[in-house]
Amino acid sequence: MNGVDRRAMLHMAAGVTGAGALLAGCGSDSGTESETTASTTTGATATTTATASAAATASAAAGSDSEVITAAADVPVKGGVITTDYVVTQPEAGTYKAFSNICTHQGCVVSSVADNTITCKCHNSTFSSSTGEPTGGPATKALAEISVEESGGNIVKA
């Protein structure tokens, strides 16, 4: 080992020892530790409050806590929209209904809505777009209805 390497090793050893002394100092000086902890806690609290405030603002911007299913403008009168989970209909102007989009016959997703009829093309079951009751085909049970309302131009869960 040459002189430079030895000095480097000594310098590193001193650094490690110094760090150990600093750590020991933190642990043994309870006054300093308390101040540090208090400062950290205050910062954490402020961050939490800001996050909660941001969530409240986002919720207020959405108009309510209700889940938006679709835009009201996308639901035609006497027709409907099939979303990922629901079929939303407008049997008459300004009246919105929503049902599970799962056919009660054998579980296909319903295919279309027209002339106030929801159709499942798997085996041609049909359902009323205002009640969800079966009106034709092999299905004998109604589509499960979900209570909805129009709010701020959206159809939301009521």
Output 66 or 135, the one with its CB closest to ligand FES: 135
Q: Is 108 in the site for ligand FES (CB under 6 A)?
A: yes
Taking the C-alpha atoms of residue 120 and residue 89, their distance in angstroms, rounded to an integer, is 15
Output 71 or 82, the one with its CB closest to ligand FES: 82
Taking the C-alpha atoms of residue 109 and residue 119, their distance in angstroms, rounded to an integer, is 10
Q: Is 91 in the site for ligand FES (CB under 6 A)?
A: no
Q: Is 139 in the site for ligand FES (CB under 6 A)?
A: yes
- Decide if 122 contacts 106 (C-beta within 8 A): yes
Q: Is 123 in the site for ligand FES (CB under 6 A)?
A: yes
Q: Is 120 in the site for ligand FES (CB under 6 A)?
A: yes
The helix (H) or strand (E) run that includes residue 44 is: helix 30-62
Which of 81, 103, 143, 156 touches ligand FES by CB under 6 A?
A: 103
Taking the C-alpha atoms of residue 104 and residue 88, their distance in angstroms, rounded to an integer, is 16
Output 31 or 107, the one with its CB closest to ligand FES: 107
46-65 residues in contact with ligand FES (CB under 6 A) are: none
In the three-class reduction of DSSP (H, G, I as helix; E, B as strand; rest coil), residue 98 is classed as strand
